[in-house]
Amino acid sequence: MRRTALPQHHEVSINGITMHIAEQGKGPLVLLLHGWPESWYSWRHQFQPLADAGYRVVAPDQRGYGATDSPEDVDQYTILHLVGDVVGLIHALDEKQAVIVGHDWGAPVAWHTAQLRPDLVRGVAGLSVAPTPRSRVPPLAAARRRFGDGFYQIYFQQTGVAEAELTKDVPTTFRKILAGIGDGPLVAPEGGGFLDRMANPETLPEWLTEDDITAFADQYARNGFTGGLNWYRNIDRNWELTTPWQHTQLTPPALYVTGDRDVVRGFYPPDFLENLPTLVPNLRAVLDLPGCGHWTQQERPDEVNNALLNFLQTL
């Protein structure tokens, strides 16, 4: 019987911060970028299959998360910093290119890296969050008009408010976000908090265990939630900084994976899947998983792994 290997953990110095990474396998580099509020651990089901297929799989704790440094200043979390971290990580690993896979917030980082540095990107895959055209007005103003002041991205702008709510009981926070998020709009009730409309399930779904909840909670013991929330606090700044690249297409080969119960689907127009090729002309495949919610690679690991491996084989 073949023994299942475990990722190896180490640190690399990138752009003035120390970044923790998990790594397994040898071969062409595949970077796995997590979202909020997650860590390298959200890719636990992807390491072995990709490594077995002949790839070097690296999943960092991104800037402000887990065991990676969390700079104090809010403006140290712009999309240019985050893309810069990916570029720095590729070079720190002595590689010239990578396939970049991102989920949730990791997806915009992956898409923007492919857009800004296509020379470094052999292929790009986004899970849950799709590339979108640049809005005509600052994104937070558009979100406020559409969803109101209770929309989670607006709520997260208040420094210290979301932190206090999320850190009050960290295991319960993760139970609610991972297992109770549902597929409705992420809008807090008037006078309430982000978690107030989420269920606290007595029984976890099959894809999530109590050990998983403990792992995420333990990883947030070092940096807390501020670093990840600071990504949201740069949404409008990112809109300003990326002005020079508006109308620039994503040219590397691409894959998009989504679920029809993903809460993010409510942010997009009904025809967004059909219109993706206008932004991503080399879109190789789209996988729309029936019954899948937001935590794509954790909820449906086998189908996600197969999609990634099929995509990698086309490169």
How many Å apart are CA 155 and CA 125, to the nearest integer?
Answer: 29
Q: Token pair for residue 161?
A: 């408010």
101: phi then psi, degrees, rounded to nearest 5: -120, 130
- For residue 172, pLDDT over 90 is answered with yes
How many Å apart are CA 88 and CA 76, to the nearest integer?
Answer: 15
Tell me the pLDDT band of 247, cut-offs 50, 70 and 90. Answer: confident
Looking at the annotation, which residues are catalytic? 104, 294
Q: Kindly list the strands in the beta sheet with 56-60, ordered across the sheet, starting from the edge strand earlier in the chain.
A: 8-14, 17-24, 56-60, 29-33, 98-103, 121-127, 254-259, 283-289
Rounded mean pLDDT of the chain? 95
How large is the average pLDDT for residues 213-236? Answer: 95
- For residue 148, pLDDT over 80 is answered with yes
DSSP 246-311: TT----S-EEEEEETT-GGGGGS-TTHHHHHHHH-TTEEEEEEETT--S-HHHHSHHHHHHHHHHH
DSSP 93-136: TT-S-EEEEEETTHHHHHHHHHHH-GGGEEEEEEESPPP-PPPS
How large is the average pLDDT for residues 295-300? Answer: 98
What are the CA-CA distances from residue 129 to residues 3, 103, 150 (Å)?
A: 35, 7, 21
In 3D, which of 296, 300, 302, 103 has the Cα closest to residue 206? 300
CB 21 within 8 A of CB 92: no
How many Å apart are CA 133 and CA 153, to the nearest integer?
Answer: 19
314: phi then psi, degrees, rounded to nearest 5: -85, -10
How many Å apart are CA 233 and CA 33, to the nearest integer?
Answer: 19
Tell me the pLDDT band of 4, cut-offs 50, 70 and 90. Answer: low
Question: Please, what sign has the CA dihedral across residues 117, 56, 220, 155?
Answer: positive
CB 106 within 8 A of CB 63: no
How many Å apart are CA 253 and CA 293, to the nearest integer?
Answer: 25
How large is the average pLDDT for residues 155-160? Answer: 94
**How many CA atoms, within 13 angstroms, populate the side-chain half-sphere of residue 252?**
28
How large is the average pLDDT for residues 234-261? Answer: 95
How large is the average pLDDT for residues 235-243? Answer: 97
Q: Chain centroid to CA 290: how far? A: 20
Tell me the pLDDT band of 6, cut-offs 50, 70 and 90. Answer: confident
How large is the average pLDDT for residues 54-70? Answer: 97
Query: All domains of the chain, ordered by start, with CATH?
Result: 8-313 (3.40.50.1820)
Tell me the pLDDT band of 1, cut-offs 50, 70 and 90. Answer: very low
Range in 12-16, 70-74, 107-111, 266-270 the model is least confident about: 266-270
How large is the average pLDDT for residues 104-108? Answer: 98
How many Å apart are CA 278 and CA 249, to the nearest integer?
Answer: 8
Query: Is residue 19 helix, strand or coil?
Result: strand
Q: Token pair for residue 268?
A: 């997009």
How large is the average pLDDT for residues 152-176? Answer: 96
